[in-house]
Structures are given as structure tokens and as C-alpha cells.
Chains A and B, each alone.
Chain A
Amino acid sequence: MEPVLRVEQLTKIYRKGSFGKTHSEVTAVRDLSFCLMRGECLGLIGESGSGKSTAAKLITLLTDATEGRILLDGEDITGWRGKKLRQAYRKMQMVFQSPADSFDPRRTLGDGIGESLLNSGTRRAQAKEEIKKLLVMCGLSEEFAEKYPHEVSGGQCQRAAIARAIAIRPEVLICDEATSALDVTVQKEIIALLNRLRWEQGANLSILFICHDIALVQQFCDRVIVMYHGQIVEQGTPDEVIRDPKDEYTQRLINSIL
């Protein structure tokens, strides 16, 4: 199996200061390196503040990394800007943590889902059909295209967000705490939806699943990485990590839920 996404020595340091002098530094992510294989689901777990979300922002280039490289499909996309970056986004999409905030409050869900389609050259009429299909695929009815984000529930909104993310058939889907803002039953439905997508897309969809819930990762992921204070402390299959945690932090994490 070949890697579809490769992250090498990714580091992010937030510097505070003025007039070119640095007063304080916060290292959010340090030397993060991993590979996401084609068709794989990789879990990234860790407590709040461990750098998971920063990692997601760095990989999607929403924030610039201080150091390190990101390779998408064998291409080094680090530091890409403008048109080139927009090309890269056709292969990589993200589902955000807070479903209600991830849609423009002044536009319908259909507009939000269709945006990437229109940007990649799909015609309006065709995009409209596609939006309906995507909504149905994600377990919503076609009428949701005309609804505004404040008119739907969190779970419905997250389904629409997934529909938006998969609209242009990305190779890599990054789920940044996609289920954390939802209650347990809805969480289960979203996981079922993601599972179905994986099954349907096979090797065409790889998921980086960022989460703090180790039980969820155990059911859903092929491999898991544990982050602590911005660094990787442990990785392996979920069963290995849970049954025989080597790092002290992982042991604490597992003890806290079992």
C-alpha cells in the first residue's frame, strides 16, 4: 500500500512578541511525522491542547507550519498558495468540529455543499442534481438543500458537512472532532455514515480521524496515533495500543475510561 498523505517533521511554534523580538513561545506541534495509507482510516487521539486540531489546520494549510513538509499524493504541497492550493483542496477535504458554525449562516446548506462543485467547474444545473444525490447519500432528504444552518439540528448539519466534504470526491478526508459536538446516539449515526462511505469508496477514500474518544477510535480506525503535548507518543493498531500501552500517558488515557 502506498501513502496518500505523508507528513514529515511538522512543527508549529506560536510566537508572541513585538518589534521582531520574541517574548514567549508555545510549541503546539513538534516533529509530527506519519503516513496515511490509501483507503486507510487513521485515528489521531490525545487530550485537549495536545495539538490535534493544530495538526489538522497545518495539514490543510489553513495555518502555515513553522517547519516540516506535507506531501499529498506524492506532491509537496507545503507553502502552496492561491490557485495551486485550491487544486490541492480537490484531493483533501475536512469536516469541522462544530457543525452549526461550519456553514455560512446567510446561505443555504445546498449552497455550501455546491460551492466546491461549482468551483471545480461543474455546471449549475448539474451541481443541483449532485447536491440532492449527496444529501440522500448522507441520510438527509433533498429538501435540506433549501434549509439554512439555523433551521436544522446539529446531527443533520454534520451530515450536510460530510456531504460537502465528499462532494468533489476527495482522496483524503480529515475529520477534526467531527463527532464531539454531538450526543452519543447521533455520534453513532455519523460513524455509521462514515463507515458506509469508506465501504462504498474503498481505496479511494482515506480518513484521518481526529478524536479524543479512544473507544470510538477503537471501533472505527485501522491504526491509531497518540499525541501528547504536540508530539507522537505511541502508534499502532487500536487493539495493540489499548491492550498493551507502552507510553505512560497512553496508560493513563486508557485507565481513565476503563
Chain B
Amino acid sequence: MKETSAASKTPIPVRIQKIRRDTTKVRLIVFGILAGMLIVCSIFSKYLCPYDPYLQDLSIAKAPPGPGHLFGTDRYGRDMLSRVIIGSRTSIFSTLLLVAIITVTGTAIGVICGWHGKKLDTVLMRISDIFLAFPGLVFALAVAGVLGGGLHNAIIALAAISWPKYARIARSQTLAQKETVYLQAAVLSGSSTVKIIFRHLIPNIIGPILVTSMLDIGTMMMELAGLSFLGLGAKPPMAEWGSMMSDSRSMMATLPWITFAPGFAIFLSVMIFNLLGDTIRDYADPRMRGR
């Protein structure tokens, strides 16, 4: 009698654990596909537009959303849906590029500082302090101002002010991991420093860095939009979500759909990338699996 009750009790927690373990994978697949769709959309945006996003037709200007124009038209009669789709290329691509640049450079500098230590660490970290001490967007404005407007320069300007955050995280993580026993064990196993850094150190510190960079996608999208709004990023008539939103600011009360369309696009893509970031962190850590 006792045995049967014990047997009927045990399978339950095991099953719960299995279902939960699967959700991480399912979440990863779902968000991965969604993010992939966004990126694919932005690559093929040219062929997905129902209308020419730059064609002005004043006869249909300020049309509300309807069967002909799903998201309505703006004050020049340009189709909002087409503009949002074509804008995804500028917004998503430049943001992803920017985040990739700052993540890679920041992490590399942080790992080198943390691992090597000594004078190199002091010098590089003081440089990063200088960048951190500046008000970010003002510095970006100065850089973009010196280099001239344009999306490329806006990306360079934002990259210049954003890498220190990653260098800081990577450095502190490296210092924390450096003294761990398993890294010493890897040294004793005869692995070279490069191998230890790439096989043991980086996989163990990349979690928080990845999450930060995924969360930064949203911030960077907004900052690029901000620079575009000030005329230092994407220039009109180039479609870019941030500048489209800024343009339509004054007409929010009368033509709300002009703000709504790019706003919703930003909201959706930022949310998808954030959720993907969280899921990647969960999945990358074997200790979190099955919890």
C-alpha cells in the first residue's frame, strides 16, 4: 500500500519539470522566428511595400486607415504601411549593427582589461570613465556635428558613447570568474589562454552582456531616432521609424494614425528583441534549464 502511494506521488514533479524545460526551448523558437521574421522583412522590405513609400499624392493626403491604405496616409499622401515597412530596414538594421558593434568592442576591451590587469587595465578603464562622465547624447551630438549628418555618422557617434557600459560589465564579470577553480583547472588541463577565454570565460560571462545588449536594442532605436529628429541621423524623406514619429508629433491630435503606425512598429520590435534576450539568457545557462 505504501509503495503504491509513493509511486503515484513521484511522477508528478518530474512531469512538471519536463514541461517547463520545454517552454524555454519553445520560447526560444517562437521569439527567434519572430525576430527572424522582422529581420527578413527588413531585408526584403522593398518587395513587401504595397505602394511606393516615397510617392506623394496630395489627392489622398491625410486619409484615415481604411481598406485601400491599411495604416492611412500622411500629409503628403504617402502610404503609411509602405513607409513603416521600408523604414524597418533603416531602423532595425542600423540598430542591430550599432548594438553588435558596441557589444563586441565593449566585451573585448572589458575581457582584456579584466584578464590582463595592471597598467593596461588602468589606462583603458580611465578612458572609458571619460566617456561615461560625458552626457551621452550631447557627446553624440558633438561627434555627429563634427563628422556631419547622416546615418553612418550617427551610428559611429552612438557607438563611441555606448561601449564603456559593456566594457564595465565584461571587466567585472571577468574579474569575478578569473579566480574560480574551474579556470585554474582549465589552465592545468593545458589549455592556452586564448582557448580558456573563448571556451570557458566568455560562455560564462556572456549571459548578462547579451541581456544588456538585447535590452539596448530598444534604447538604441530611440537614440538613433532622436538623432534623426535633430537632423543628425536619417534625413527626410528617408523613412525611419523614429523620425517618422517625430515628424508627426504635431499632428497627433488630428491624425493619430501617423504616429501610431511607426510607434507600434517600434513597440513590437523592441518587445520581441527583449523577450528574445531573456530567453537566450535562460537557455544559455544550463543551471536555469528545467526550472
Q: Which residues of A contact B (CB under 8 A)?
A: 60, 62, 82, 86, 89-90, 93-94, 96-98, 101-107, 112, 115-116, 119-120, 148, 150, 161, 164, 168
Chain B contact patch, size range: 20 to 34
**B204:A115 contact, CB within 8 angstroms:** no
**B184:A96 contact, CB within 8 angstroms:** yes
7 inter-chain pairs at a CB distance below 8 angstroms, sorted by A residue, are: A89-B187, A94-B185, A98-B181, A104-B204, A106-B204, A112-B189, A168-B190
CB distance from A16 to the nearest CB of B (A): 16
Q: Is B286 an interface residue (CB 8 A)?
A: yes
Chain A residue at minimum C-beta to C-beta distance from B284: A106
Known: A104-B204, A105-B204, A150-B287. A89 touches B184 (CB 8 A): no
How long is the Cα–Cα vector from A86 to B187 in the complex, in angstroms? 8
**Residues of B contacting A: mostly:** helix
In the complex, which residues 235-288 of chain B have their Cβ closer than 8 Å to any Cβ of chain A?
284-287
How long is the Cα–Cα vector from A86 to B186 in the complex, in angstroms? 11
Instruction: Give the residue of B180, B188, B203, B204 whose beta carbon is less than 8 angstroms from that of A94.
Output: B188
How long is the Cα–Cα vector from A133 to B186 in the complex, in angstroms? 21
Mask, B181-201, CB within 8 Å of A = 1, is: 110111111111000000110
List chain B residues, Cβ under 8 A from A150: 286-287
Instruction: Give the residue of B186, B187, B284 whose beta carbon is less than 8 angstroms from that of A104.
Output: B186
How long is the Cα–Cα vector from A150 to B287 in the complex, in angstroms? 7
Known: A148-B286, A150-B286, A150-B287. A102 touches B185 (CB 8 A): yes
Q: Which residues of B contact A (CB under 8 A)?
A: 180-182, 184-192, 199-200, 203-204, 284-287
Chain B residue at minimum C-beta to C-beta distance from A97: B181
**B203:A102 contact, CB within 8 angstroms:** no
How long is the Cα–Cα vector from A164 to B182 in the complex, in angstroms? 12
**B285:A106 contact, CB within 8 angstroms:** yes
List chain B residues, Cβ under 8 A from A89: 187-190
**A103:B286 contact, CB within 8 angstroms:** no
**A101:B181 contact, CB within 8 angstroms:** yes
Most chain B CB within a 10 A radius of its CB, from A62, A115, A168: A115
List chain B residues, Cβ under 8 A from A97: 181
